[in-house]
Amino acid sequence: MLTSLYIKNYALIDELNVAFNNGLTIITGETGAGKSILLGGLSLVLGKRADLSQVKNATEKCIIEAHFDIANYDLKPLFNTLDLDYEVQTIIRREILPSGKSRAFINDTPVTLDNLVALSGFLIDIHSQQQTQQLTQDDYQFKVIDALADNKSYLKEFSKGLVGYKTLQKSLEELKASKAELIKEYDYNLFLSNELNEINLEKINLEDLEAQYEELNNVEIISEKLSSAKSILSTEDLGVVDQLNLAKQDLTKIANFGASYETLKERLVSVGIELDDILIELDNLEENLSSDPQELERISSKLQIVNNLFQKHAVTEIDDLIAIHNDLKSKINNTESLDDAIVLKEQDLLKQNEKLNQIALKIHNKRKKVIPVFVSKLEAILSELGMPNAKFKVELETTEAFAKNGKDDLQFLFMANKGSSFNALKKSASGGELSRIMLAIKSILAEYVQLPSIMFDEIDTGVSGEISNKMGEIMKRMSSKMQVFTITHLPQIAAKGDSHFKVYKTDSDNVTHTQLKKLKEDERIVEIAQMLGGLTITDSAMEHAKQLLH
């Protein structure tokens, strides 16, 4: 509940600090006295955007601060979500600086307007003619029926499930899109993969292959040169081996004459051994050397294929081709495995669909069950409010598609008079009728859920007499379960209040100021008497005012 309101430097208000009690609070005042200013200041606390033109003195800061007792509102989870410190006595403050900048605070923590709106909607509800029009909107009609049906937990479960369902839908669409894209490339990727697969890349050693090619392609030259080398080394008398042996014999004869001679002899012996090995190797190479045109063709063809693949894939190493081949195989496997992934995703989506349908059915059944109760209560209250022939019908139909709150279409139908037909509420009810219907609905809601404090802004416009008395009684009943404010011009309603405030203007130094005063018992009598008979208060008006109050 709203426990106090402080306003400084706003519109015609210099400074105002007022405390409120529970129950029914009446606010009265002459037209133009500034009741709308009071509502405007309170609206800033609820998240309305600030305007520097609303500041009384543009050189000073404007402050609007409201204190709320939120012990009965179960708002700890919301405070946690908004990352705010929870306080039973919560303070909301708005400031408009001379620069035009606006700031908002909840329990002295700076907050955004979005966060302010998220919280304030649970604290106070300013009911104006604009809000009455909400009654004709689908969202509000669902909120009414679901509040009476106690669908809160099911709606929360459905909303969470719907998020998961849409996530699955999006994932499935992405999988199908990926498959469609990969299918376009599948045949080409498969061709490239097969082409690389045929060459057996893992078993290719490019250096060995090139060496084999060079050997087979130059057999005659190699044979000739091997033979020539052997001849140079081993020709009798003139060959290198024989000449080396002669040199070795000479050095052997002088080896005993000094260490250096001995060393040279040993080195020639080593060279001789190496030459003998070289001759053996030359014999082996010459013996194993053979011409093989078919093998040459095979190797040449393989090298050509490898070089072509290098050029096609713009690489220069076998390892690069292997990496490309692995990537192609992965794409092919992904394409082939997407069908399985799509089937699994479709199965998950079907399960989620069934789960949502079950929750939606529970929501529907609870709505269906409560609608006759709602209609009966509503028609009874409307009869009290001077609409005895008003008839209400709530049409509830199941749809195929999921909406944000189930699978229902809901429509409020209204018939004001006998002999007429049911039509949509927004087409068949006048403004005055909508106000009374809204009051009736709010009073019904108060029986089922903990509503925030509510402020009725002249909801009694266009009614008088006994109807206004009934409206006052309804608001009085509501105030037993919640805090109710009503701005009124009707004495029958004003007399029902537990407390009564008067908005009025004063002039000082050619400046107009708006004031708010809590009326004492005798002041209430005078105020109600003026509401009954005007500024000239008669004895009968005073007596009537006392009767209304008591």
Domain boundary among 295, 321, 337: 337
Determine, yes or no, domain membership for 167. Answer: no
Residues 184 and 276 reside in one and the same domain: yes
17 backbone dihedrals φ, ψ, rounded to 5°: -140, 115
Locate 72 and state its tokens.
């009965």
Determine, yes or no, domain membership for 497. Answer: yes
Cβ atoms within 10 Å of 206's Cβ, excluding its own: 15
User: Coil, strand or helix: which one is 187?
Assistant: helix
Determine, yes or no, domain membership for 328. Answer: yes
Domain boundary among 269, 302, 337: 337
Q: How far apart are CA 440 and CA 428, in angstroms?
A: 17
Which residues in 66-85 are b (16+ Cβ under 10 Å) and which e?
bbbbbeebebeebbeebebe
Residues 106 and 237 reside in one and the same domain: no
Q: DSSP letter at 536?
A: S
Residues 197 and 311 reside in one and the same domain: yes
The total number of residues written for the chain in this structure: 550
Secondary structure tally for the chain: helices H, strands E: 18, 15
Q: What is the pLDDT of residue 129?
A: 65
Residues 319 and 188 reside in one and the same domain: yes
Which CATH number fits the domain that encloses residue 471?
3.40.50.300
Query: Is 67:38 a contact under the CB 8 Å cutoff?
Result: no
Give strand pairing partners of 486.
26, 456
Determine, yes or no, domain membership for 394. Answer: no
Amino acid 59 reads T
| Average model confidence (pLDDT) across the chain | 87
104 backbone dihedrals φ, ψ, rounded to 5°: -130, 145
Residues 320 and 212 reside in one and the same domain: yes
Burial group, residue 349, by CB count within 10 angstroms (0-12, 13-18, 19+): middle
What's the pTM value of the predicted model, to 2 decimals?
0.69
Q: How far apart are CA 163 and CA 369, in angstroms?
A: 27
Residues 106 and 234 reside in one and the same domain: no
Cβ atoms within 10 Å of 550's Cβ, excluding its own: 7
Query: Is 145:333 a contact under the CB 8 Å cutoff?
Result: no
Query: Is 425:136 a contact under the CB 8 Å cutoff?
Result: yes
Residues 214 and 329 reside in one and the same domain: yes
Q: What is the pLDDT of residue 157?
A: 95
- Lookup result for tokens 């979005």: 114
Q: How many domains does the chain have?
A: 2
Burial group, residue 512, by CB count within 10 angstroms (0-12, 13-18, 19+): exposed
Residues 232 and 310 reside in one and the same domain: yes
Determine, yes or no, domain membership for 417. Answer: no
Residues 191 and 333 reside in one and the same domain: yes
| Beta strands at 89-96 and 62-69: parallel, antiparallel or unpaired | antiparallel
Determine, yes or no, domain membership for 415. Answer: no
Determine, yes or no, domain membership for 63. Answer: yes
Determine, yes or no, domain membership for 530. Answer: no
Q: What is the pLDDT of residue 261?
A: 87
Q: How far apart are CA 531 and CA 526, in angstroms?
A: 9
Q: How many angstroms separate the Cα of 192 from the Cα of each of 148, 188, 196, 200? A: 66, 6, 6, 13
Residues 185 and 325 reside in one and the same domain: yes
Handedness of CA 403, 405, 409, 412 (dihedral sign): negative
Per-residue pLDDT of the chain (550 residues; tens, 9 = 90+): 999 999 999 988 889 999 999 999 999 988 776 777 888 888 898 888 888 888 888 889 999 999 999 998 889 999 999 999 999 999 999 999 988 899 999 999 999 999 999 998 889 888 876 667 778 888 989 999 999 999 999 999 999 999 999 999 999 999 988 888 877 777 788 888 888 888 877 777 777 777 777 777 777 787 788 888 878 887 776 788 888 888 888 888 888 888 888 899 899 889 888 888 988 888 888 777 777 777 777 777 777 878 888 888 888 888 888 888 888 888 777 777 788 889 999 999 999 999 999 999 999 999 999 999 999 999 999 998 888 999 999 999 999 999 999 999 999 999 988 878 899 888 888 877 888 888 999 999 988 888 889 998 878 777 777 888 899 999 999 999 899 999 998 999 999 999 999 998 888 878 888 888 999 999 999 999 998 887 778 889 899 999 988 8
Residues 99 and 195 reside in one and the same domain: no
268 backbone dihedrals φ, ψ, rounded to 5°: -65, -35
User: Kindly report the CA angle at 174 between 171 and 177, in degrees rounded to 5?
Assistant: 155
Domain boundary among 279, 313, 337: 337
Residues 231 and 304 reside in one and the same domain: yes
Domain range for 462 is: 1-123+452-519
Give strand pairing partners of 18.
5
